[in-house]
Amino acid sequence: MAGVSMKDIKLRIKSMESTKQITKAMEMVAASKLRRAQDRVANSRPYFEILFDTLNTIANNTEDFDSPFLEKREVKKSCYVVIGGDRGLAGGYNHNVFKLAYSLIEGKNACVVPIGKKCLEFFRARGVEILTEAYAVAGEVSVGDCFTVAKMLSKGFLAKEFDTVSVVYTNFVSMLSQSPGVLNMLPLEYHPKPGDNNCLTLYEPDSFTVFDTIIHEYLGGLIYGALCESVTSEHGARRTAMDAATKNAEEMISSLSLKYNRARQGAITQEITEIVAGADN
Amino acid sequence: MTFRLQIVTPDGLAFEGEAEKISVRTIEGEIGILARHIDYVSPLGMGEAVVTDAEGKERRAACIGGMVAVHNGNVRLVATTFEWAENIDLERAKAAEQRAREIIARPGLNERDLKLAEAKLHRALVRQAVHRDL
């Protein structure tokens, strides 16, 4: 009996060892990708900050400022850009963001632009209207794609196909915590700053054209920023999940080793007892 | 006389420092900015940007989309794409040109796809033109 169970335990230890190797490797890959993703976030930030700044300044400094992008309408239909991952094994990363998105969408007239394979699967399974499937692979979405999405969405907004546009993404709070969040894109909210009156700026051809032109870039930037943030979160979540899995595997290996040694000891003791019993006769 | 120039793109900072002159193509046409320019904002078109640095050396780049802003004598070029001439991938631009031309030649194209393809062609041609004069 002891012999069979010893072999079983040994096999289980071996399989745990290989699982541990896999999770360890995934953790390291996620950690290195995380570093790259963080750099990307840091690099892209000034671009969007300057654009947003300029938009704000234009809206502030122009009297009777009005743009179709600022128009608040009664909400008949909303559009959500939901950014998820392409793969699982990242802890609650996908689940959290989908749960939030679904709670916003459920029971309302809404459509989604899913980014990420898991995301597309989730919304397709629930029968939510999907605007486009062209960006289903989050890993392949480039800056240019973000601008294309933004253009498409702002066109839809102006054509009154939907009355609000929001992005549902995951905020990278820290290495250990990532929280899902919603960012409202359209209609654009701007924050008037009193006392910031610089009316001497020359806008060419005029401030409205400048505003309506760079808003596309800004919106594309919002999506890109949210995407970068989500990708960073995904790697962070995966790193944490895989770290936990590696630790679990280690724990199981150590408890199995203990069992194995006990079984070995038991077998030896039994053998000795048998030998001694034989010698006595 | 020089001014402070910052060139930012979504991929990061392309240039930061003193410059003597910068010329870019806005949606209205080519403009040149020297030190002590009035506060100014304009969206960028597709074209070549030439930066003359503090030592009078010229550097050329393909500059597409975004905007240029002058504020209190500081110039910020916020470009969607900004590639120095020496960094342009000529093979890629040529391949992009060919792909775009194939799409445009296709019969029964809707207006949106045609516009997209034309923009792609334009970008590819700008890149090639900037690279050619290297």
Provide the residue ranges of all domains of chain B, joining segments of one domain with +. 3-86, 89-132
Domain B89-132, CATH number (from 1.10.510, 1.20.5, 1.10.10, 1.20.1530)? 1.20.5
Contact indicator for B32, B23 with CB cutoff of 8 Å: yes
Domain B3-86, CATH number (from 2.60.40.2250, 3.50.50.60, 2.60.15.10, 3.40.1640.10)? 2.60.15.10
Evaluate if pTM is beyond 0.80: no
In order along its 134 residues, chain B shows pLDDT tens digits of: 899 999 988 888 888 899 999 999 998 889 999 998 988 889 998 889 999 988 888 999 999 888 898 888 889 898 888 999 888 888 888 898 998 898 888 888 788 788 888 888 888 888 888 887 66
Q: pLDDT tens for residues A159-168?
A: 888 888 899 9
Residue A120 has pLDDT above 80, yes or no: yes
Residue A198 has pLDDT above 60, yes or no: no
Contact residues on chain B for A51, CB-CB shorter than 8 A: 66-67, 78
> Of the ranges A31-40, A117-126, A242-251, B60-69, which is most confident?
A242-251
What average pLDDT is seen over chain A?
85
Give which of B36, B42, B72 to mutate to test A binding, by max A Cβ within 10 Å: B42
Confidence (pLDDT) at B3 = 92
Find the CB nearest B28 among A147, A198, A204. Answer: A204
Confidence (pLDDT) at A1 = 45
> Of the ranges A2-6, A189-193, A235-239, B11-15, which is most confident?
A235-239
Confidence (pLDDT) at A60 = 73
Q: What angle do CA A106, A110, A116 make, to 5 degrees?
A: 85
Tell me the nearest-neighbour CA distance from A120 into chain B, angstroms. Answer: 24
CATH code of domain A68-192+200-238: 3.40.1380.10
Find the CB nearest B67 among A54, A143, A205. Answer: A54
Question: Would an 8 Å CB–CB cutoff place A159 in contact with chain B?
Answer: no
Question: Can you count the helices (H) and strands (E) in chain B?
Answer: 2, 7
Whether residue B39 and residue A202 make contact (CB cut-off 8 A), yes or no, is yes
pLDDT greater at residue A79 or residue A49: A79
Residue A193 has pLDDT above 70, yes or no: no
Question: Would an 8 Å CB–CB cutoff place A221 in contact with chain B?
Answer: yes
CA distances from B85 to A5, B88, B127, B131, B132 (A): 70, 6, 8, 5, 9
Residue A197 has pLDDT above 60, yes or no: no
